[in-house]
Structure 1
Amino acid sequence: MTLLDIDPAQATSGEAAGDALLLGRRVRALRTSRGLTLEQLARAVDRAPSQLSAIENGKREPRLPMLRSLAVALGVTVDTLLDTEAPSERAALEIAVERAQRGTVFQSLGLQPIRVSKATSDETLQAILGLHQEVERLHRERAATPEEARRANTELRAQMRSVGNYFAELEGAATGLLDSVGYAGGPVSQQTIANISERLGFSLHYVSDMPHSTRSVIDRRNGRVYLSGAVPSRDARAPILRALASVVCGHEEPSSYGEFLRQRVEANYLAGAVLLPEAAAVPLLAEAKQQRQISMEDLRDAFGVSYEMAAHRFTNLASERLGLEVHFMKAHESGTLIKAYENDGVRFPSDALGNFEGATVCRNWTARTVFGQPDRFNPWYQYTDMAAGGTYWCTSRVEKAKEGQYSVSVGVRFSDVKWFRGRETAHRSQSFCPDDQCCRQASAELTRKWEAAAWPEAATPTSLLAALPTGTFPGVDAHEVYAFLESHE
């Protein structure tokens, strides 16, 4: 909803309690409804008309004795004066304009605020609000720098780490969805997901003209979930669940980049919690731990999901249910870290703000050495001795995506490797990163030979100079989405 679609209750919610503007408009509305002039009410409460005018205009907040005097003079209770709902739609509109003009964004423009009076039309007030809303949007876009995005992401990762990447409310929501359709165990079928969708009031539609900037689109008005027809049905379960997460989790339009990232994490978590239910996955993992044979492949095969989802789901349950601290990495073949999580103390590469994603992974880590292995059928196991932090063990696999190949790795400290399959591996490496001499500098011999002769052209990423994606849902073309929904309604 925009500021142009003001609902009186919503316009005065939250900050309304004790709001001088709201109180002033209520006093004015009660005074005029009783046929009293400003001077008459001022005499009744033993105050100067100018003082009462300041109260009605929201420029002065009366103390409790004054509130009591006003309530008596107007024949109401103090609670009535402090009601959090605007007395009328017009009053709500005036309050919104006054708040906008008193805000930092409006004041930064250096404009003289207009005086809101009875003679000011609704159209004028709505126009002011509309312009103010657009200026605020532009300020938010200007503030949405890559630094802000990385900072929001770092804060989110810290929150995930503090709870061991386990969210009880989402686990409960996933269990409730499965119980509602009679799930009895085993891999969660496509039909089960379709039943969940129907239970939530949505039908599934596969289309060939999905907006290019979206994975799925929900039409809340008509109860439809649109997915690309190019997605094989066996792989559609996760996209459907991620789409429905907005309904299950009660997501509203994100008001910040941090909220957008949080919603995306919740959607991915819910999908994993449904496809690998806690009640079924924990006993399997607990048995594997007892047998000292924990394996991401076994978890993947038991529930018919991707290796990445199995690995990520393992991080949800490892600390809370198995007492294991772990780390997870997804790295592109170029060495760029795409996703990362840890609560086992491993030191991921990071930028100055402490953000992992986008940093370069050491060439000697499992997430990079796996790309050099000819055997892609079996998992790659490796110990890595860190310059600081001891020894870590990782299991890793290479997956394919439209952006190229990437590795998915799960690892633990040396002290916890006894619970995992692959602990007997003889593969071992050393990492001295962030020391450039570890893996980023060529040998002295090669440097002397080529440094004056080499002139490479950088494959500059298209995003290098691009602004951070903007909009309510960053990176999504709203015009394209609305046109799509209109064509399918």
Structure 2
Amino acid sequence: MTTTSPTTSSGGIDTLVLGRRIRHLRTARNMTLDDLGAAIGRAASQVSMLENGHREPKLSLLALVADALEVPLAELLRTDPPSRRAAMEIELERAQRGPLFANLAVPPVKVGRSLPADALEALVRLQNEVQRLLTENAATPEEARRANAELRARMRAQDNYFPELEDHARRLLTAIGHPGGPLSQRSTADIAAHLGFSLHYVQDLPHSTRTVTDLANGRIYLPQGNPGFSDGRSPLLQAIASHVLGHAEPADYGDFLRQRVEANYLAAALMIPEDGAAPFLQAAKNERRLSVEDLRDAFAVPYETAAHRFTNLATRHLGIPVHFMKVHEGGTLHKAYENDGVVFPSDPLGAIEGQPVCRQWTARVVFTLADRFTPYYQYTDTSSGTYWCTSRVQTSSQGAFSVSVGVPFAHVRWFRGRETTERSASRCPEPTCCREAPPELAARWATQSWPSARPHASLLAALPVGVFPGVDTTEVYRFLDRHAPEA
């Protein structure tokens, strides 16, 4: 449900802008409040309320005001403030009527012609700075967990399928005449060229970035050599995706997460197009040989990309609910998705990131295997039902991760690996399942040990401040300045 803001009428008119425009036109004609009131048959106090944005006007009244001021009605309804001072007055009025001033219990200042321009500008800058500091303080691990939970709920509600992003991918692939199948590095460059970008591989890319896009000069800068990415196409496609989707500076951490998910989704949809992948998966289901590995091999993508893409298409095209997990070798949950009822470990606020995963789950058991090249399959009995899962381990600069895809027992008949005899039982979140040490070990070592934890730095501090968390914008700007073509 959309609510009407305090400065917007039910007809969509910004009453503050309208009021300042009426005042500007009235004073330009040397008319007093009494003069304008007499011309439209209203008391001066009613005109004052209109100019201060406290009254929702009817179009019939605005027509009278326009006639009295000798301007077209459209002139009154313009959405831009009539002057810089008016713009500042409107900004301060909005702030004083908003939740920030109310929560701080700051008494309002009368915003009128008697308020000196320097005082007005100082107040506007002050409230902007307070708002900025509050926004930075909100970008804490708690805010990140809340934003992650909201995004996960949205993904679950639409089965992790975004039709508008699928359409974007389809149009881009059609534009370069992609014949289907794997997307080559050359085709990836063709997409960039189609959008007006040239590619530049450099050795001094800012350390906090994967790519940098110069929108002014139509350039995308990428790292030279082997930067450690599992697929060299992904960073470029994600940069292209952000441009295609019109991403602007994130308003908050939730917006930052949404943009990242959208860019990753569109990049994967380009590498594994829906028009080719959906029939491929449907044929595999018909033959009861669904496999993430086969999807990976058919489209020449990393396993994690194939696993993500499977979750995009499985429910919409195959009618199969599914879950996905990425778990660090230390046992903590890095990211996950589900629409099949599996219950992920979570904190009291419902956040799952950083939570310990049960040792009995496939995503943890796979780390104990000597053979990390053969797909591992396992059935796990949990508090929410029995699930079949396939998992693989992949390495990264942050350590090893397992990537797992699972389905409820009722849907395992469609998958390769269903014949596995591997089975475990999880009683989590009961502490006696795997979070508490066995009694004999606890009795021996509980008072005779003192481990030194090695937590990630991100657990000890708020998220990096700035428009893009973790990115040094000054470094980025200096980099762009070095590489921009001379005018």
Settle same-fold status: TM greater than 0.5.
yes
Cα offsets for 1:422-473 (capped at 9, x unmatched): 1111111110000111112222111111112122122233223201232221
> In the alignment, which residue of structure 2 is the partner of 1:429?
424
> In the alignment, which residue of structure 2 is the partner of 1:139?
134
Q: Which letter maps to 1:202?
A: F
Question: CA 1:102–1:415 in 2, change beyond 3 Å: closer, same or farther?
Answer: closer
Question: CA 1:119–1:163 in 2, change beyond 3 Å: closer, same or farther?
Answer: closer
Offset, 1:90: 4.3
C-alpha distance in 2 between matches for 1:449 and 1:111: 63
Match status 1:99 vs 2:94 = yes
C-alpha distance in 1 between matches for 2:133 and 2:255: 18
Q: Which letter maps to 1:150?
A: R
Offset, 1:127: 4.5
> In the alignment, which residue of structure 2 is the partner of 1:40?
35
- Where does structure 1 lack aligned partners over 5 or more consecutive residues? 1-11
Match status 1:278 vs 2:274 = yes
CA contact (8 A) 2:234 2:267 kept: yes
C-alpha distance in 1 between matches for 2:337 and 2:409: 18
Q: Which letter maps to 2:481?
A: E
Question: CA 1:417–1:143 in 2, change beyond 3 Å: closer, same or farther?
Answer: same
> In the alignment, which residue of structure 2 is the partner of 1:341?
337
Question: CA 1:365–1:236 in 2, change beyond 3 Å: closer, same or farther?
Answer: same
C-alpha distance in 2 between matches for 1:454 and 1:422: 42
CA contact (8 A) 1:371 1:398 kept: yes
Match status 1:466 vs 2:461 = yes
Question: CA 1:244–1:115 in 2, change beyond 3 Å: closer, same or farther?
Answer: same
Match status 1:228 vs 2:223 = yes
Offset, 1:408: 0.5
Question: CA 1:232–1:193 in 2, change beyond 3 Å: closer, same or farther?
Answer: farther
SS at match of 1:353: coil
CA contact (8 A) 1:17 1:84 kept: no
Question: CA 1:88–1:257 in 2, change beyond 3 Å: closer, same or farther?
Answer: same
Deviates more, 1:365-374 or 1:225-234: 225-234
Offset, 1:240: 0.4
C-alpha distance in 2 between matches for 1:16 and 1:376: 62
Correspondent of 1:192 among 183, 187, 195 = 187
C-alpha distance in 2 between matches for 1:440 and 1:42: 76
CA contact (8 A) 1:329 1:340 kept: yes
Return the TM-score normalized by structure 2: 0.91
Cα offsets for 1:199-240 (capped at 9, x unmatched): 111111222222222221111111111122233798221110
CA contact (8 A) 2:288 2:415 kept: yes
Match status 1:249 vs 2:245 = yes
Cα offsets for 1:154-195 (capped at 9, x unmatched): 111111111111111111111111111110122110000000
C-alpha distance in 2 between matches for 1:285 and 1:66: 63
SS at match of 2:388: strand
Return the TM-score normalized by structure 1: 0.90
C-alpha distance in 2 between matches for 1:63 and 1:264: 44
Offset, 1:307: 0.5
Match status 1:419 vs 2:425 = no
Question: CA 1:110–1:203 in 2, change beyond 3 Å: closer, same or farther?
Answer: same
C-alpha distance in 1 between matches for 2:127 and 2:193: 41
> In the alignment, which residue of structure 1 is the partner of 2:113?
117
Correspondent of 1:31 among 26, 31, 42 = 26
Question: CA 1:50–1:287 in 2, change beyond 3 Å: closer, same or farther?
Answer: closer
C-alpha distance in 2 between matches for 1:28 and 1:199: 50
> In the alignment, which residue of structure 2 is the partner of 1:380?
376
Cα offsets for 1:124-177 (capped at 9, x unmatched): 654443332221110111223322221111111111111111111111111111
CA contact (8 A) 2:8 2:14 kept: no
SS at match of 2:353: coil
SS at match of 2:433: coil
Question: CA 1:164–1:60 in 2, change beyond 3 Å: closer, same or farther?
Answer: closer
SS at match of 1:391: strand
Offset, 1:413: 1.1
C-alpha distance in 2 between matches for 1:83 and 1:112: 27
Offset, 1:364: 0.5
Q: Which letter maps to 1:452?
A: T
C-alpha distance in 2 between matches for 1:72 and 1:480: 55
C-alpha distance in 2 between matches for 1:50 and 1:444: 80
CA contact (8 A) 2:88 2:120 kept: yes
CA contact (8 A) 2:333 2:354 kept: yes
CA contact (8 A) 2:230 2:302 kept: no
SS at match of 2:459: coil
C-alpha distance in 2 between matches for 1:190 and 1:486: 28
CA contact (8 A) 2:89 2:111 kept: no
> In the alignment, which residue of structure 2 is the partner of 1:4?
none
Question: CA 1:112–1:170 in 2, change beyond 3 Å: closer, same or farther?
Answer: closer
Match status 1:320 vs 2:316 = yes
Question: CA 1:405–1:272 in 2, change beyond 3 Å: closer, same or farther?
Answer: same
- Where does structure 2 lack aligned partners over 5 or more consecutive residues? 1-6
Cα offsets for 1:72-96 (capped at 9, x unmatched): 4223465543333333444334322
C-alpha distance in 1 between matches for 2:271 and 2:444: 55
Q: Which letter maps to 1:19?
A: D
